[in-house]
């Protein structure tokens, strides 16, 4: 029997935040399987199929997006008197994160489920 990865494990394996994984599921970018009780999972081999080692940039781009948002959240928590530019810098970081979305979409949109319901590999669509 193939090894199952539940959503927390899946997010960790793909190197993205759990909320990013949920967004991908809601958007239909990836399709988890379900146990009879409803718990969602992926087979490890399916996850490995999502990661194409050569030319694959989606994973680090998503990690960068998530890290920029987390850093912006931390800046917002700083004392405004001690760090007067923290909120301004947080907005700049969030802007950077949001500017990555079109680039990420370029690479994610090629991941369309095939007729068997299994996600296709993420591949680079640029000119070779």
**Domain extent listing, the chain:** 4-108
Q: Is 81 helix (H, G, I), strand (E, B) or coil?
A: coil
CATH of domain 4-108: 1.10.1660
**Bridge partners of residue 42, in order along the sequence:** 5
pLDDT for position 38: 92
Of 120, 9, 122, whose CA–CA distance to 57 is shortest?
Answer: 122
What whole-number distance in Å separates Cα of residue 43 and Cα of residue 40? 10
Can you give the pLDDT of all 128 residues of the chain as single tens digits? 788 999 999 888 877 788 888 888 887 778 899 999 999 998 887 777 666 544 456 667 777 888 898 899 999 999 988 899 999 999 999 999 888 888 777 766 654 444 344 444 443 333 33
pTM over 0.85, yes/no: no
């Amino acid at each position: 029997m193939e090894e199952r990865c539940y959503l927390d494990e899946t997010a960790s394996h793909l190197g993205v935040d759990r909320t990013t994984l949920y967004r991908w599921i809601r958007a239909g970018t990836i399709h988890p399987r379900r146990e009879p009780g409803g718990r969602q999972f992926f087979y490890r081999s399916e996850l490995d199929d999502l990661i194409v080692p050569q030319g694959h940039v989606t994973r680090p781009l998503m990690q960068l997006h998530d890290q920029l948002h987390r850093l912006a959240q931390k800046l917002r928590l700083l004392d405004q008197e001690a760090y007067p530019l923290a909120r301004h810098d947080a907005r700049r970081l969030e802007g950077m994160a949001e500017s990555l979305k079109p680039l990420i979409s370029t690479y994610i949109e090629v991941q369309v489920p095939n007729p068997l319901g299994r996600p296709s590999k993420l591949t680079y669509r640029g000119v070779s």
